[in-house]
Amino acid sequence: MKIVLFIIIVILFAVVGSQTYFILKERNQLRAEIVSVTGKLDALYKENITLKEDISYFSNPANLEKELKAKFNYKELGEKMIIVVP
């Protein structure tokens, strides 16, 4: 009787121990995923701030015109363009 009870207790401890191991393993994986997602979230917050600054900058028509002229060789009617070659 004692041997059967001992075997049942050992099996019970083995099952509980294995379940505890798998739970701890999953918890560590979730923590690593949280760190990864937090890093991505921080990067997205920084990108969001940059985009808001760009929107604010380009909301001014003078800044928009300046960027158009710089990047796309835009010129208004009556303006002359001079290209300087280094």
DSSP string, 53-73: HHHHHHTSHHHHHHHHHHHH-
Query: Are the beta carbons of 58 and 64 closer than 8 angstroms?
Result: yes
| Residue-wise pLDDT tens digits, 13-69 | 999 999 999 999 999 999 999 999 999 999 999 999 999 999 999 999 999 888 888
Domain ranges of the chain: 2-70
In degrees, to the nearest 5, what angle opens at C-alpha 43 toward C-alphas 42 and 49? 90
pTM over 0.85, yes/no: no
